[in-house]
Structure 1
Amino acid sequence: MAPQTATSPSLPQPHIDLQKGWPTPRLLPSQALLAAAEATLSGPARATEALLYGPNIGDPALRRECAEWLSRLYCLRSPPSPPPPAGSASQNGAPAPVPISPDRICITAGASGNLACIMAAFTDPVYTRRVWMVEPTYFLACTVFDDAGFQGRLVGVPEDEDGLDVELLRRRIEAVDREEAASEPMYKRPDRYPKLYRHVIYMVPTFSNPSAKTYTLERREALVRLAREVDALLITDDCYDFLSWTMSSKEQGKGPETSPCNGTSPLHQRNAQAPPPPPRLVDVDQSLPGGDQEWGNAVSNGSFSKVMGPGLRCGWAEATPKFIWRLNQVGATLSGGAPGQFSSTLIEHVLRTGALEAHVQNVLIPLYQTRSATIRRAIEEHLGPLGVEIHIGRPYHVKMDAGHDEEVIGGFFLYILFPQGILADEVAAVALKEQNIRFLAAGMMAVRGSKSSSDLLKRGARLCWAWEEEDRLVEGVQRIAQVLKEKFLTTNGYH
């Protein structure tokens, strides 16, 4: 079926961008931020705090609001009854719910800027042996790791249905440790850098960018145990956890009564489109017995970019209090104070008044849920018959208050696989040239400098539903189908 366009065949088709992982401009909460700016700047005391250097660890009021918000989001309220058995994160594999303390949180310049700070504070380009990156990976993270001195020592690790292949990762780390066991050099001074990790493991475990996978609870626990064994720091970009809904919640406005973890205030209730996300690796690390309570082996790298706007350049990190303290001793923070101090004060107001949660629950989730369903139907209708598959791993389920399990999806992305013998990079190049549509293909999701041989990576593509409107999502999928039929498929099979 030919793509449906409103243009004459003799004119260029309008560009459709299924690669851009940005929110549609009309979804930016500009009015809420305007109200926050007026309230912040109208009071001399708060205006002064906003416009002068902030404390290295970040605005205290925003740290408190973040702690309360994240505790609501992840249903972290009080210890379970009865207590979970020894040696397990909880009775069902999830961490015991403990409210988040503000001393576990610092304010950052967003996930990208904080990734650089984490590497500056806790790695040494000689002592730290490798950076292990999930593959397919968030491609722009490679440059951050290169800048930290790890060019040529980034290693891709594939995913299976449950998440990053932890047993393969274990074997590869053990092989590196055997080879380099006699090497104990250190470039950074121990008195200035009291904790350096031997390995770094990087991933996006919930509604992943780019694979859209959500790791199972068992896989999360296995990754924490491995990190503890090999002295690794788990860095997780937890940027999409807030955008979740159930596969069956197709109607908006069902109300909160069927969803777990409802708040006590209507302002902070979770609706039926927003089941709680799985526990982060930092939650597992905190709750699983036997860990390093001083430094820990996981840090959660959060961002307001996906729920407010990337131009704010503001996020947060969560880890042990000592880890958070050390993270704020990097040179850029010591010199400039809290990153994003002005935007921090605006975000604090939006959070405190409930405007952020209202925006997420009432605007973002319903719209992204609709777009997600639209692009899925388009793929099934136009690409499915051509052998293209949606490939996002094992479904993640939560138990609802009504007692039944629901599959949970969310985030910004879907991951598709082209048929055997068709390379995603080739399809993407032809699609851009002949159909004026852009999407993220295999080559951009490979770990730079690592030997990437996974067939699932070579055939894979990431499609984003956050930027384009519904009609353009459908037309974009139709254009990809047109490219496949005209350039890559024949009546007898594949070229």
Structure 2
Amino acid sequence: MSHENEDPKLKHLFDGSDWNVYETKVLNLGVGAPGTDLLEPCCDIFQQATAHRLKYEKSENRSLLFQYGPTSGCFDVRHEIAKYFSSMYDSAMKSEDLIITTGASQGLHFSLSTLVDFNGYIFVDEYTYMIALDSMKEFTTLTIVPVKLNDDGVDLKDLEAKVRERCFKPNGKEFWAMYYTIPTYHNPTGILFSPAVCRGIVALARKFNFVVICDDVYNILSYDEKPPHVRLLSYDARTDTDFAGHVISNGSFSKILGPGVRLGWLEVPPRLKPILERSGIINSGGCFNNYTAGIIGSLFELGLAQSHISRLYEAYKERMKAVIAVLNEQLPESCTLIVPKGGYFIWISLPEHLNARDFLTYSLEHEKIFFIPGPRFALEGDNGKHCFRLSIAFHKKDKLVDGITRLCRALKDYIKTLS
């Protein structure tokens, strides 16, 4: 065993692995990240925003951008974020409700470690974001409980039964459990939770006093008619007589500006923000990403963020529509797909006796196309073994259309070999 660390000198997260979306020998349809063409303008717009912010720091702000920041993040930055997303959501986002984070993954970890009894539970959809599952498993004293997922969201009867069976009084923390979900353009299935399901989740959270944290990173990526409420948080209305604050919206710029920015935010109700701000992890260093937050503030102030987000949105919309058109025409009749109205992902189901992992092997051998089989998104064994997820984010439309066409051809041939 070596006594020295070896560094492979990688250039990005996917480098050196099966996930390498930059590897031209394989068409990777699995990675949920914006492509090179979409990130290319970032150098120029961030250069402008940085010059703008540093001029302000030097002339007016005593270079406080380089100081420990306020725990929630500087108000001017939170104001710019709130102003933009209020217009996108058609509902008010308040600056005072925001806490700056380094992205949705860190926001989840921070909320979980601060708010939930370590002898408690995390309820998750039976298919969910796989890296969130990996993060949750690090909390070895917490029990993760999968809940059935329907075409319109979580199965409320199953959620209530599992919550009721496990409920207890927390010791030293605000909540005994968390329900983690992606209610808007769900990862991996692409579904949008219905208003009835959203209202039901809030009712159960209030009744059994658990916290709901929503991974809200796709909310403004609506490609059809925008739903009236794009945040589950909006169903936890402060005007309700039984409001206490049980829902947190966990946002990020990774999908709409660039993942390397490492900036996000938690939108939290009044009773929970002081608890989060008293956490030692945020008090030790102040704002989790004070410098970059300042640059992002200038990016919005100059209107550069808005135009960049609009550009990514149009590209994603074009790609999603093109992929769905191919699938509707060429996917084998024995297979089904959930047609998403927004977001990044498409969920395809094979006939139940087939295995998506076996098809992946076939696809790589015959068409050099990679995707993610369903069990990677499930807590339990082979759950979802006949399903797989596609992403529309990284590749340009023409490459996606060609790839999906070849994938459908490979799937038809694969099914024939087993008949």
Which residue does 1:34 correspond to in 2? 47
Which residue does 1:86 correspond to in 2? none
3-state DSSP of counterpart to 1:473: helix
Letter in 1 for 2:151: E
Cα distance in 1 for partners of 2:318, 2:205 equals 38
Identity %: 27
What is the deviation of 1:185?
7.4
Alignment partner of 2:264 out of 315, 328, 338: 315
Q: Which runs of 5+ in 2 are unaligned?
A: 1-22
What is the deviation of 1:337?
1.4
Cα distance in 1 for partners of 2:222, 2:46 equals 23
What is the deviation of 1:47?
7.2
What is the deviation of 1:120?
1.2
1:485 aligns with 2:412: yes
Which residue does 1:95 correspond to in 2? none
Which residue does 1:376 correspond to in 2? 324
Relative to 1, partners in 2 of residues 1:107 and 1:298: Cα closer, same or farther, differing over 3 Å? same
3-state DSSP of counterpart to 1:56: coil
3-state DSSP of counterpart to 1:198: strand
Cα distance in 1 for partners of 2:24, 2:95 equals 51
1:474 aligns with 2:406: no
Indicate conservation of the 8 Å contact 2:324/2:339, yes or no.
no
Cα distance in 1 for partners of 2:270, 2:242 equals 14
Indicate conservation of the 8 Å contact 2:170/2:176, yes or no.
no
1:428 aligns with 2:367: no
The one-character-per-residue Cα deviations of 1:438-491 (angstroms, maximum 9, x if unpaired) are: 1111111102xx4665xxx2322111111011222122223323432333324x
Indicate conservation of the 8 Å contact 1:17/1:439, yes or no.
yes
1:389 aligns with 2:316: no
1:417 aligns with 2:349: yes
What is the deviation of 1:373?
1.3
Relative to 1, partners in 2 of residues 1:489 and 1:331: Cα closer, same or farther, differing over 3 Å? farther
Bigger-Rg structure (1/2)? 1
Relative to 1, partners in 2 of residues 1:466 and 1:321: Cα closer, same or farther, differing over 3 Å? same
Which residue does 1:109 correspond to in 2? 102
Which residue does 2:69 correspond to in 1? 54
TM-score norm. by structure 2 comes to: 0.88
Which residue does 2:7 correspond to in 1? none
Higher mean C-alpha displacement, 325-334 vs 466-475:
325-334
Which residue does 2:369 correspond to in 1? 437
Cα distance in 2 for partners of 1:332, 1:309 equals 25
What is the deviation of 1:64?
1.1
Cα distance in 2 for partners of 1:70, 1:299 equals 15
Which residue does 1:82 correspond to in 2? none
Alignment partner of 1:17 out of 23, 28, 33: 28
After superposition, residues 240-279 of structure 1 pair within 5 angstroms as: 240-246=218-224, 275=226, 278-279=229-230
The one-character-per-residue Cα deviations of 1:246-302 (angstroms, maximum 9, x if unpaired) are: 27xxxxxxxxxxxxxxxxxxxxxxxxxxx4662412221134623343xx1110000
Cα distance in 2 for partners of 1:185, 1:333 equals 23
Letter in 1 for 2:131: L
Aligned alpha-carbon RMSD (Å): 2.2
Relative to 1, partners in 2 of residues 1:204 and 1:185: Cα closer, same or farther, differing over 3 Å? closer
3-state DSSP of counterpart to 2:266: strand
Q: Which runs of 5+ in 1 are unaligned?
A: 1-11, 77-98, 248-274, 394-408
Which residue does 1:341 correspond to in 2? 290
After superposition, residues 83-232 of structure 1 pair within 5 angstroms as: 99-126=92-119, 128=120, 130-150=121-141, 153-177=143-167, 186=171, 190=172, 195-232=173-210
3-state DSSP of counterpart to 1:236: strand
Letter in 2 for 1:368: Y
Cα distance in 1 for partners of 2:45, 2:207 equals 46
Cα distance in 2 for partners of 1:220, 1:138 equals 19
